[in-house]
Structure formats: structure tokens, C-alpha cells
Structure 1
Amino acid sequence: MIDLTLKVNGSDYKGWKAIDVSIGLEQIAGSFNLTASDRWHGRDKAWPILAGNKCTVLLGETTVITGYVDEANPEYDAFSHSLNVTGRDATGDLVDCSAIYKTGQWSGANLLKIARDLCGPFGISVKADVDVGKPFPKFALQDGETVFEAIERAAKQRGVLLLSDGRGGLVLTRAAQTLIDAALVKGENIERGSGSFSHKERFSQYIVKGQAPGGDSFSEPAHHTQLKSQKNDEAVTRYRPLIVYAEQGDGSTYADRAVWERNVRAGRSARLQYTVTGWEYRPGKIWQPNRMVPVKDDFIGVDAEMLIARCTYTLDDGGSRTTLELCRREAFDLINLPDKKKKIKRSRKAKDKDELKW
């Protein structure tokens, strides 16, 4: 079994008795919760780990979190000593802190530029492994929003996900399509499985409304043209309409937005959760989010390739395990708002005839 190492101030700390580490597509910062006990393994004094310390978390040889200790909680009695340590990736500061940048406005800047300007003061590097799209004619911070909220608002308009790279940086990316060389199979490597299928956030009709410039003087509301597009979710059999107001675009953009709204909500309505033994699926390869994995489970009724949305690595008296949260890839197919001057070419996944099983 591989071990977890917490690196703080040049020292390596192992031998944790309770471990809970979580990383995923829906959290910009990975988190950890570790507990050491049993008389500190021969130590009379507590490990010198303090809140605010820089730290790195490794599972075996794989670095999964690089950031800071949020809390350090020592405890003792007449028989034992213990220390509980929690922390997050450096990108956790983007979630907590307010967005501040000069005048708070950009003109002609793309997503990567905006993200780097906002993350720079925190010492957080930003890289993109996908095309981040065209520059924004105008982009302005909103009062009271955090750094993460500001970047996420821009990222959604360019169809981009925000992920921690596990090494203290931010990555602009999209949902992966690459299959890992392993599978989740009922009766073989799955210890426990469960499914959650909900229609609470699904609707029978998705009506996207907005307006587009009607001429050269489009800054005046009188020159704006009202636009609307509607798509249906045949899996929702009762009347449940939803009106969505689009950020910008033209008629074809709104048609894509309606299909995206339907498909993403359908994708996020179906979740699978599986627990497997250990943290690795192959020696030296740990389970990680944003990977596709084949799933065969005749009880829940799935035989498909699913996206790993979250991994939670645990250790307790029952041993080490990984809990995987899976969903359809559509759940993270963020819409990419196209250039108004270009004709929209919709992907296969965005087609209105796309079949939605769940």
C-alpha cells in the first residue's frame, strides 16, 4: 500500500492514522484532512505544523495538492496525543479572497490574460491546455465577487473549466475524453456502488431569450432585436418550462445554449459513486478526476464510459479506499460562446437529436 506524505518546512510527515483527501472538477482547490495519533510514533512533542504553513501532499510519488495548512488542531490526554491538520491547494485563496485589479476593467483581453492578472498577486501561475477563445471586447469585475467567481464567469463564456494542477497553479481546460487503462466492474473491483438520478433540476422546455444588435447603433436599446430559441427534454414528461437569459450572441448561439442547458442538466442529474480498494488502479497510477473510465454495473444499469468528476482518498481502520464520483461527460460540456460574425457549427454532442438515456 502506498503512503501519504505531508511536506511542511522541509520535513516529511507520514504515518497518518486517518486520511481524507478530495480533488475534483467541481472544486477549484483540492482539500485534505489528516489525523496522527498513537503517541506521535515515539515523539514527546507535537509535530511543528502550524496554520498558514506552505505544504505539499503526495500519494505515493504523485503530488495531488500544493498549498497551505488551513487548520492545525493538537489534542492530548493522559494516554495519547493527536494532531488534526486540514488544508487546501493554493487556489483556495481564489475562492476566499476578493477580486482586485487596477480599475477593475479590461478591454480586448482574453481569458488567459484576465486570469493571470487576477492570480498574479497570489503567486499562482495560470496555464491553458486548450484554446481559450477570442478576447473579450469588455470585461469588468462585479462588486463583491471573489477571484474565482470573476474568472469562472469569464471561463463559462469561453467553454473552459478551472482546475488546480495540484502544484499550486491554475489550469484552464475542458472535460477530458481520454480513457484510462482500467475499468470499474461490478463483482470484480467495486466494493460499493450507488446511483443518484434526479429530475429536480431538469425541465421539459428550455427557452433561451436575449437580444442582439439590430444595426450599427446597437448601444441603444431601441436598436436591439429580441431573440429566442427553445429545446425540449423528452425525458421530462410533465410540463416544466425554464426561461434562461443569455449573456450575448445571435439566434444560432441561443439554439446552442438551449441544447447545452438541456444536456448539461441531464448530465448532472445522473451521478454514480463507486468505492474501490486502495488509491491506485495500476502500480504507480492513482485514480484521478477528469479521466474517462469504462463502467459495467448490471444492478444500477450502466455499461458506458463515464467521466470521473471527483476522487476522495481515505484511510481509516478499514484500510485505504478511493471513492469515485462519476457522471456523463455532458455534465461539464460548458458552452463556448462563438464569434457573432462566424456561423455556428454545432458539435455532435450539442445536436438536438442527441439521445439522453437518463
Structure 2
Amino acid sequence: MSRTVDATEASIDHPTGSLEDCDLKQVADAFDTNGIGIECDIETEKKAVHQVRTGETLFETLETDARAQGALIYDTPKGKLKITNKPEGRQSGALVRGVNIINASGTLSGRFNYSEVKVRGQASFGTKATVLSPEAEAKGTASRKRSLIIYHEGEVTSGRMKKRAGWEAKRAAGEGKKARIRTPGCRDQGGSLYKPNFLIPVQDEWGGLDQDMIIASVTFEQDGEGGTVTSLELKDPRALGGENPRGKSAKGWAAPAVPIPTFREDL
């Protein structure tokens, strides 16, 4: 088991539990009191103060802020916590029906299709409407009225709210498009292990799928003959912060791109 389990099971043991003028990486480094190790390849907006709740785990104290900043948290093969907001890379080769796909299944759902995603919150200082009742909005992919309203945890700014709205709309656009594929072996065509948050092309004409997908999870299994079979849970890249793949998939897999979010300043 990866030692990042300590980030979800063990409490932060910090002298003060408080940090001022800090971005997400600084928060992660300061409160990694169990020595897990942090990898962060993004810059995030600083906050005036970050306060840890008594008994809180490292993941719990980071996760709320990560959602507000449109960031992912997951573990690396070396057992560290990774913080990013985009696919980490690309696997070599492709998953192709009749070549290296043992079996495959897919799910297309409209559960996460929204016409717009609105983010609302409140700032601590000031009396203007943009402080007391600010709102950012990103258009979604649904053709009929289906609104999603999200409360923005923590201090709000125009930049943080727009980023959150865009992130949630993009994730919603991709979340309903999933595939599960079993492939022989544990490595791609370049010899690298399959890894989460990496893109890989999928060509499965039976399932109408011909586009980049992102690996959401990987399971390695030993078959009865001593070989390895890999089960990959794949999603539309937007579900993990990527861009619209715009492949040649059947119409059911397609969805329009999410436009740039707006921030209401005329309240």
C-alpha cells in the first residue's frame, strides 16, 4: 500500500495549525507532518491564512482548497502526493480493438450534463455586492435548463471563482463518459507502466470510441497462467482537467467545449 494512506488516515500534528500568506503547495509542505512528500507542478492563488481543524488529515485540509483552485490530488508510484490540474503525460501506443483489448465496456450518461455551472460565495472584507454575493458562471453542455449551483468554500476572489466554475463545468462535461478496458500485460507499447492521469488513444469501433481517453485508475491482476492483465478505468479527459479530445468517436461520445467562465460585477 502506498504510504500516502497516511494522508487520509493520520492527523496533522503541527505546533500551531496555522499558516499565513500561503499557496496550495506551501500549505501541503507545511502540514505534511508525516513526511509523505509533495509534488506540485502548478501555481495557485495565495490566501491570507490557512487554519487546520483539530484532528484533520493532510488530504482533508488540502482537498477543499484544491477544489476551489481546480486541482487534482493523487498518489505517485513513489508514494508521494501529487497536486496538478492537467494530465501528467501520455502513454505510448494505443488501445485498439483486435490488437491489445481483451474486452471493453462503456458508459454514456447525461447525469452530469448541465446547462450552466454557477459558483457563489462570500468574501470577508467589504460591503459591495461583489463581496457579499459574488457569482461566477460557466456554460455547460446540456441543451435544456439544468443548473448546478456550487458554494465556494473559503475566501472568494474573481479569479478563484472563475477557475472553480470552469473546472466544475469541464469535469461535468467529461464525467458521464467512461470506459473500462482490460489489456494484456502491465506496460504500454513504449515499455512504461500504465499510470493514472495519463492520456492514451482508444480505438474501439464496437463501442463507438475513437479518441484520447484519460486513465482514472489502474488495477494489475495475475491471470491463471502467471501473466499480468491490466484493468483500466478510462474517462473523457475533461473529467480530470484535460481538454476536449475532439476525436472521431460516435456522436454519443461527443460534447461541445466549455467556454471561458464569466464573473458578475454588475450586481
Query: Which TM-score band applies after superposition, normalised by the shorter structure?
Result: 0.7 to 0.9
Q: Distance in 1 between matches of 2:216 and 2:94?
A: 15
Pick from 145, 149, 155 the counterpart of residue 243 of structure 1.
149
Cα pair 1:256 1:350 within 8 Å, conserved: no
Pick from 174, 188, 209 the counterpart of residue 120 of structure 2.
209
Could you list the runs of 5+ residues in structure 2 that have no partner in the other structure? 243-256, 262-267
Query: What does residue 177 of structure 2 align with?
Result: 270
The correspondence of residues 1-16 of structure 1 with structure 2, limited to 5 A, is none
TM-score with structure 1 length normalisation?
0.60
Report the CA distance between 1:274 and its aligned residue.
Answer: 0.6
1:217-261 CA-partner distances (Å, limit 9, x unpaired) = x25699934223444434353x43222122444456544433332
Report the CA distance between 1:108 and its aligned residue.
Answer: 1.2
Structure with the higher fraction of residues in strand conformation: 1
Report the CA distance between 1:278 and its aligned residue.
Answer: 1.2
Q: Does 1:279 align with 2:193?
A: no
How many residue pairs match? The answer is 245
Aligned sequence identity (%)? 28
- One-letter amino acid of the structure 2 residue matched with residue 126 of structure 1: I
Query: What does residue 227 of structure 1 align with?
Result: 134
- One-letter amino acid of the structure 1 residue matched with residue 206 of structure 2: F
RMSD: 2.9
Q: Does 1:147 align with 2:58?
A: yes
Q: Distance in 2 between matches of 1:170 and 1:135?
A: 20
Name the larger-Rg structure. Answer: 1
Q: Distance in 1 between matches of 2:115 and 2:129?
A: 33
1:261-283 CA-partner distances (Å, limit 9, x unpaired) = 22211211211111001112237
Report the CA distance between 1:351 and its aligned residue.
Answer: 2.2
Cα pair 1:132 1:160 within 8 Å, conserved: no
TM-score with structure 2 length normalisation?
0.78
Q: Distance in 2 between matches of 1:207 and 1:131?
A: 24
Pick from 320, 324, 337 the counterpart of residue 228 of structure 2.
320
Query: What does residue 194 of structure 1 align with?
Result: 105
The structure, 1 or 2, with the larger RCO (C-alpha pairs under 8 Å, 6+ apart) is 2
Query: What does residue 56 of structure 1 align with?
Result: none
- One-letter amino acid of the structure 2 residue matched with residue 95 of structure 1: T
- One-letter amino acid of the structure 2 residue matched with residue 333 of structure 1: G
Report the CA distance between 1:309 and its aligned residue.
Answer: 1.5
Report the CA distance between 1:204 and its aligned residue.
Answer: 3.3
Q: Distance in 2 between matches of 1:284 and 1:170?
A: 24
Could you list the runs of 5+ residues in structure 1 that have no partner in the other structure? 1-87, 335-348, 354-358
Which moves more between the two structures, 323-332 or 310-319?
Answer: 310-319
- One-letter amino acid of the structure 2 residue matched with residue 242 of structure 1: L
